[in-house]
Amino acid sequence: METVEKLTKVLRNHSMKITPQRLMIFQILENNTSHPSAEEIFKRVKDIYPTVSFTTIYKTLEVLCDLGELRELTIDDARKHYDPNTNTHHHIICTSCKKILDVFEDFSPHVKLPESFRENYMISNFQVSFYGICKECN
């Protein structure tokens, strides 16, 4: 996701209304590196727009993912997290506090996909997730 203006154009092109609640979702996500969950986004929007529903938040996030403007991360079994950076990058996750950080390293030459998969799939992208305990939790 680059700018709120770009996203409003994307939604208009898909015949979706531009509401203040949706604009706030965009603002929360823009340049956000904390990988918020839908619940965290909902709480922030609800503070300003108390009548907003969780369904509105979730459906907007789902549409942004479908349009390739947002990346959904299923790192925590309890909830999905969202990453506005759709460029290829990886993540490191603390198994204690669940903090998620971006890793901007190219692992392409080190990832060995078995031949049977390479024969049957045209790989377009991949993500590596590292798990461990952060310094603060250790």
Boundaries of every domain in the chain:
4-83, 90-132
Fold of 4-83: Arc Repressor Mutant, subunit A (1.10.10)
Residues 6+ apart with CB under 8 A from 138: none
Domain 90-132 fold is Dna Ligase; domain 1 (3.30.1490)
State CA 27 to chain mean position distance: 14
104 vs 10, higher pLDDT? 104
Angle between helix axes 38-48 and 54-66 (nearest 10 degrees) is 130
**pLDDT, tens digit, 9 for 90 and up, residues 72-95:** 988 767 788 999 998 889 999 999
